[in-house]
Structure 1
Amino acid sequence: MKRASNTRKLAVLAVVVIVALASVGVWYYLAIYMPQYEEERIRLLTLFTSGVPADLDPALAIDLDSLSIIYNVYDRLVAYKRGTTEVEPCLAASWETPDSMTYIFNLREDVVFHDGTSFDAESVKYSLDRALELEGPLSYILDFINKTEVLDTYRVKVTLDFDFAPFLSIMAHPVASIVSPDAVERYGEDFNKNPVGTGPFMFDSWSLGKEVVLTANKEYFRGAPKLERLVFKTILEAAARKDALEQGEVDVLWSQGEIAPADLADVEANPDIRTFKASGTAIECLGFNLWKKPLNDSKVREAISYAIDYDTIIMDAMDGRAERVGGPIPPDIFGYKPLALRQRDVARARQLLDEAGYSEGFDISLTYNIESLERRKVAEVMRNSLGEIGINVKIKGLDWDSTLDELDSMEHDMFLINWIPDYFDPDSYLFPQFHSASLPPNGANNFGLSDPEIDTILDDGVMTTDPSQRLEAYHKAQERIVEEMPC
C-alpha cells in the first residue's frame, strides 16, 4: 500500500493542543452580534476572513478562508451531519458497497447547478477526475481512487486502489466538491474567480482583498437558505476584527484565535454579543526532533514532560479556556482513547536528566510561528519550566513560511505547531504525523519518528472496515506513540 501524505494547511479554525504527552483542549469559540432591532440582519450575514481568500476552485484551494466559502457554494456526494463527525447523504441519495473497494452512489435527480445545467453522474466523474488531474495541493486526499465510472445518468461507481475505511469521510472534503462542467469549460483559468456549484449559496462578487459576496440559492434542493446574502469580509488584524464585531460591521467571529486572548473577556461581557464554546478538532503539540541529540534520548523527553507546568499553560497562557487530554486524537473523534495525564514532578524530571547524563542541563531551541501571541505565551511558560531543571530554552519565533521550512528541513530542536485533520477520522491524525512514510519531505512527521510497529498498526487500521477492529488498532497506535514520546 503506497499513500501520499499531507501538506501543511495555512490557517487554523479550532484547536486541541497536545503538549508533551498531555493535551490541552482549547475551546472552539463563536461570537455573534445579536441586536434584534436590526431587521436587515435577518436577510444578511456578514462574516470575516482572517486572510485573503486565494482560490475558489475546490480542486486548487488550500487556505481555510477559501475553503469556508467553497463549503457554501458547492456540495459533495456526502456531508457531515450537523454537529457530528458522521457522514450523511448529500448529492448522493444513497450508496452501495458491493465489496470493500467499490462504492456505487445513487444520485439525487432534483439538483441543478447555479448556472442552470443539470447535475448527474457525468458531472461527478468530471469533478473527481479533474481534481486528480490538476494535482492541486489537496489532491493527494483522493489518490486512493483508481477510477470513477458512469453507470447511468444518476449512478456512478468509484473503485479504490485498496481498502480504505475513511473513504466516505474523505468524500465530504471540499476537494471532492462537484463543479459545473459547463462553467469550468466556459471560464477556463478564471473558474477560480467564478465558482459554480450546487450549494446553498451562489457566487455573486469578489472584491480582491476586501470581500466575497454570496447570494441565496432559492432553488436549493435542501430548501432555500433563510439568509439572502453571505458576505465574507477580509479583516487581517485581530483588533480590527473585534472592533468590527462590536460595532455590528460583522455578525460572526469563529475561533478563539481570531480575537486577541486579552480581548475575549470584553467580548463575552458585551450584552450585544453572544458567545458559544465547544471542544475543537485540531491538534497543537510540543514536538521533539528525534534525530537530534539530546532529544533522541527517551529519558530526556520524559524529563521535559515531567518539568512542564501544565496548569500555568492552561490558566495563564490560555486564560483558562482549555482542558488536558492524554493523546494525539481529541475526544470527539472516533478512535479517541482516554490516556493517563502526566503530572508535573520537577524532582523526577531532574532525576531523569541525571540518568541520561545531563545533570548540568543543556541548551536547546523552541521554534514557533511568531504570528501566534498565544503560542508565544505557551513557549515562555515552557522556557521557565525547563529552566528549573537546567535546560536553557531559546525561544525562536519565525514567520509561518520560515517555520514550515525549518520543520521540513528537520533543522529544529523542539517546536510548537498545530495539526488540522483533512477529514474526521483517526487516520487523518496519525498517519500524516507518525507513520514513517510521512517523514519529510513526503509528509508532516517532523518528529522524525520511525517505528515499524506504529506503521503496521496504522496500515491495518486504515484498511479494515470493521469499526471494532479499527478502534482496537487506533487505541494500540496511540499507546505506542505515547510510549515513544515524539511529542
Structure 2
Amino acid sequence: MLSKKARFTFATAIIGSMIAMTGCSGGNQSASTGKSAEKPAASTPAGKKVINISLKADPPSLDPSQSNALVDRQVQNSIYDKLFDLDKDGKIVPVLVDSYEVSQDGKVYTFKLKTGIKFHDGTEFNAEAVKFNIERDKADNSRRKNEMNFVQKVDVIDPQTVKVELSEPFSPFISILTDRSGMMVSPEAVKKYGDDYLNHPVGTGAYVFVEHVNGDHVTLKKNENYWNGKVNIDELNYKVFTNGTAAVQNLKSGQLDFIDEVPTKEIKGLDNNPTAKVVAKAGMAYQGFYLNTKQEPFTNKFLRQAVNKAVDRDAFIKVVLDGFGTPANSPFGPGNLAFGDSDKVEKPNKQEIKDLLAKGGKPDGFSFKLQIGTSPVNEQFGAVIQNMLKPYGIQVELEKVEFGTMLENGANHKFQALQLGWSGRPDPDQSFFDFVVTGQPNNYASISNPELDNLAKQARVELDPVKRKAIYDQAMEIVHDESEYVHIYHDFNRFGVSKKVTGFEYIPDGIIHTQKLDKK
C-alpha cells in the first residue's frame, strides 16, 4: 500500500469566498447586541476571557449531517474536530487521524487514529465512532449522503484502526473529510437525542456547546480537557448580525471581537482604526444566482444565456465589492485543480444578447423574479443586476427572503431565480458534482444533461490530476451552454478582527478557526 502523501496532492489556494448575500432576517442592531436595540450588552466576569463573533445569519443546523450553510460551519469548527483539515497554506493535514494508507487501486483507505481523545460527553473517540459517523453520513436522510456514496464498507480493525472500502476510486475522498463529513459527532449523543441532536451537539473540539437562541446567538464554553493543546478563551459567543455596518460599529466599540464578513464599503474605515483591523485574503468560493430550468421563463436555454451574458462582472465587482473580488465564469478560482480558461469572462456584447433574446422568442425582453437575502448588501446585489439587465428589456423583480427559507426554496426548486453562492472546498468535485448532476441535492436549478452527468462522474474516479482537469474543461463547456447558474465573482474572505485578539491564523476555507485564539 502507498501512503497518501506519496500518491495525491491538492492545490487549494482557491480565490473567492461566499459573500453575505444570503443573510437571514434583517433589522437594525444596536452597538451592544446582535439582535435588538433593547437588549443590553452582557457583562463579562472579571478574569473571564470571552470572544464575541458576529455571524451574517443564524446557523440553521449544528448537526454536520444536516448542515448546508457556511454560518453553520463557523460554529461547527469550534465544536467538532475533523479527521482531516486544512493548514494555513490550504494543504490537507491529518487531525484526528494519526497516519493513513491508500491501496494501489485507490479503493481502500486505512486510518490509524490518534489515541486518548474523548467527546465532550466523556465517551471515547475510537474506530467504532468513526464507523458510526461514516455510516450515519451515508444514510438516506443525510445531506452528506452523496459525498459518502462511494463508501461500500467500513470495518473496525482494532480500537484505533478503521478501514474504509470504496466501490471505485474517488479522488475527492480525503478532501471531503476536511469538511462536515469529517466532523466526528458523539455516537452516544446522537442515540440519546435523536432528531433533536442539532440542539445538543457533542464533538471532541476545543469548545463545548452551551446554548443556541435562534436568531440571536450561539454560546460555547472552553473544553477543559481538550486533547490538542491549551484553550485560552473561556467562552465564545456567536452573535447574529444581518446588518454588516452595525457589526462594524460593534467591532469598533469593542462589543465584538470578530466579524465573519466585513462589508467592502466598510473596509477603508477600518484600515487605520486603532482598535480593529481587516484581514482580507483569497478564499475558495464563488457567488452568483440560479436560474430554474423547470420554471418559465428559464425553461428556455437562450433566455438563460442572455441573462448570463448580460451581467458585466467587472462593473459588478467595482460597484458592489469596491474591487475586492475577481470575475467568475465557473466555480473554480485560481489555485483550484480545475481552474483555467473556463473561468474567463467576456464583456457583454449587446448584439449577441439581442440575438439570444430573439432565439428565445422574446426579442423585446421578458420579466422574472429574483429571490435575494434581506441585508443591505443583498439589496445592492439585486439592484445592480436589475440595472444591468434593464437595457435589454429584461425586467427583474426583487423578492427579499430570509436565509433559511432561501435554502428551502432552493432545495424544493420554488423560485425563478435565486441568489445563493457557495463557500468552496479544496477539491473541484465538491464545488461541482452536487450542483450540476441530475437529482443531486444542490442542483437547485434542476439541470439535467446526460453528457454533463457522465463527465462529472468521470472526474470523480479519475486519479490523474491532468486528466481530471481536461474532463472539467469539457464539462464546463456544457455548463456555459446550459447557463443554469450565473457565476459573477470570486470573493475575498474579509474578517474584521479586534487588535485585542491574538493567535488568529488565516485559513483559506473562510472559517474563523478559534482553537489557538487568545485575548489581551
**TM-score normalised by the chain length of structure 1:** 0.78
CA distances 1:194-250 after superposition (whole Å, capped 9, x unpaired): 4443222334x3263554443444654432234444332344544542332121111
CA distances 1:467-486 after superposition (whole Å, capped 9, x unpaired): 22222211221233223333
Structure 2 matches for 1:184-199, cutoff 5 A? 192-199=198-205
CA contact (8 A) 1:367 1:398 kept: no
Aligned to 1:91: 96
Deviates more, 1:104-113 or 1:390-399: 390-399
CA contact (8 A) 2:437 2:456 kept: yes
2:379 matches 1:376: yes
Deviates more, 1:137-146 or 1:66-75: 137-146
2:160 matches 1:154: yes
Q: Secondary structure at the match of 2:345?
A: coil
- 1:110 shift after superposition: 3.9
- Matched residue type, 1:255: E
CA distances 1:429-467 after superposition (whole Å, capped 9, x unpaired): 2222222233xxxx3334343322212111100112222
- 1:130 shift after superposition: 4.0
- Structure-2 change in CA distance of 1:336 and 1:431 (3 Å): same
CA contact (8 A) 2:53 2:258 kept: yes
Query: For 2:223 and 2:368, how far apart are their aligned partners in 1?
Result: 52
CA contact (8 A) 1:309 1:382 kept: no
CA contact (8 A) 2:176 2:430 kept: no
CA distances 1:166-215 after superposition (whole Å, capped 9, x unpaired): 11122222343223445556667775444443222334x32635544434
Query: For 1:187 and 1:437, how far apart are their aligned partners in 2?
Result: 31
CA distances 1:82-132 after superposition (whole Å, capped 9, x unpaired): 341x32111111111234222111111243334444332222223333444
Q: Secondary structure at the match of 1:419?
A: coil
Query: For 1:389 and 1:484, how far apart are their aligned partners in 2?
Result: 20
Query: For 1:73 and 1:400, how far apart are their aligned partners in 2?
Result: 23
- Structure-2 change in CA distance of 1:300 and 1:409 (3 Å): same
- Matched residue type, 2:213: L
Q: Secondary structure at the match of 2:17?
A: coil
Aligned to 2:345: 341
Structure 1 counterpart of 2:248, from 242, 245, 256 = 242
Query: For 2:99 and 2:63, how far apart are their aligned partners in 1?
Result: 26
Q: Secondary structure at the match of 1:159?
A: strand
Structure 2 matches for 1:142-221, cutoff 5 A? 142-182=148-188, 192-203=198-209, 205-206=210-211, 208-209=213-214, 211-217=217-223, 219-221=225-227
Aligned to 1:9: none
Identity value in percent: 25
Q: CA RMSD in A?
A: 3.5
CA contact (8 A) 1:216 1:224 kept: no
Q: Structure 2 unaligned runs (5+)?
A: 1-15, 22-43, 487-520
Query: For 1:64 and 1:356, how far apart are their aligned partners in 2?
Result: 36
Aligned to 1:431: 433
CA contact (8 A) 1:363 1:394 kept: no
2:420 matches 1:417: yes
For these two proteins, the number of residue pairs brought into alignment is 444
Query: For 1:476 and 1:17, how far apart are their aligned partners in 2?
Result: 31
Aligned to 1:460: 458
**TM-score normalised by the chain length of structure 2:** 0.74
2:284 matches 1:281: yes
Deviates more, 1:406-415 or 1:90-99: 406-415
CA contact (8 A) 1:131 1:176 kept: no
- 1:382 shift after superposition: 2.9
- Matched residue type, 2:257: D
CA contact (8 A) 2:199 2:212 kept: no
- 1:45 shift after superposition: 2.4
- Structure-2 change in CA distance of 1:136 and 1:349 (3 Å): closer
Query: For 1:155 and 1:190, how far apart are their aligned partners in 2?
Result: 30
Aligned to 2:321: 318
Query: For 2:327 and 2:147, how far apart are their aligned partners in 1?
Result: 30
CA contact (8 A) 2:60 2:404 kept: no
- Structure-2 change in CA distance of 1:471 and 1:322 (3 Å): same
2:364 matches 1:350: no
Q: Structure 1 unaligned runs (5+)?
A: 1-12, 19-37
